[in-house]
Amino acid sequence: MPQRDSLQNTFLVAFVLCLVCSLVVSSAAVVLRPIKEKNERIAFQREVLSVAGLYEKGKTKDSEIPELYKQIKTVMIDLSTGEVTDAVKDPENFKLSDVAKNEDLTVEIPADKDLAGIKRREKYTKIYIVSKPDGSIDQLILPVRGKGLWSTIWGLLSLDSDGKTVRGLTFYEDGETPGLGGEINNPKWKAKWSNPECPKVLFNDEGQVDISFYKGVVTCDMPDSEHKFDALAGATITTRGVENMFKFWLGDEGYGPLLKKIREGQFPVTKLSSVSQ
Residues that bind ligand FMN (CB under 6 A): 149-150, 176-177, 180-181, 233-238
What's CA 80's distance to the chain center, in Å? Answer: 19
User: For residues 237 and 269, which CB has a smaller minimum distance to ligand FMN in the complex?
Assistant: 237
Rounded least distance, CB 151 to ligand FMN, Å: 9
Rounded least distance, CB 214 to ligand FMN, Å: 12
| CA torsion, ordered 55, 61, 63, 69, to nearest 10 deg | -10
Task: Report the C-alpha gap between 114 and 253 in whole angstroms.
Answer: 9
User: For residues 180 and 269, which CB has a smaller minimum distance to ligand FMN in the complex?
Assistant: 180
Question: Could you tell me whether strands 228-230 and 212-214 are parallel, antiparallel, or unpaired per DSSP bridges?
Answer: parallel
User: For residues 150 and 172, which CB has a smaller minimum distance to ligand FMN in the complex?
Assistant: 150
Report yes or no: 256 and 79 within 8 Å, Cβ to Cβ: no
Rounded least distance, CB 231 to ligand FMN, Å: 7
Q: Other CB atoms closer than 10 Å to residue 152's CB: what's the count?
A: 18
User: For residues 135 and 216, which CB has a smaller minimum distance to ligand FMN in the complex?
Assistant: 216
Listed in sequence order, the residues at least 6 apart from 265 whose beta carbon sits closer than 8 Å to its beta carbon are: none
Rounded least distance, CB 234 to ligand FMN, Å: 5
Q: Other CB atoms closer than 10 Å to residue 90's CB: what's the count?
A: 7
Rounded least distance, CB 240 to ligand FMN, Å: 8
Rounded least distance, CB 198 to ligand FMN, Å: 23
What's CA 234's distance to the chain center, in Å? Answer: 24
User: For residues 135 and 179, which CB has a smaller minimum distance to ligand FMN in the complex?
Assistant: 179
**Residues in the chain, overall count:** 277
Report yes or no: 202 and 211 within 8 Å, Cβ to Cβ: yes
User: For residues 135 and 234, which CB has a smaller minimum distance to ligand FMN in the complex?
Assistant: 234
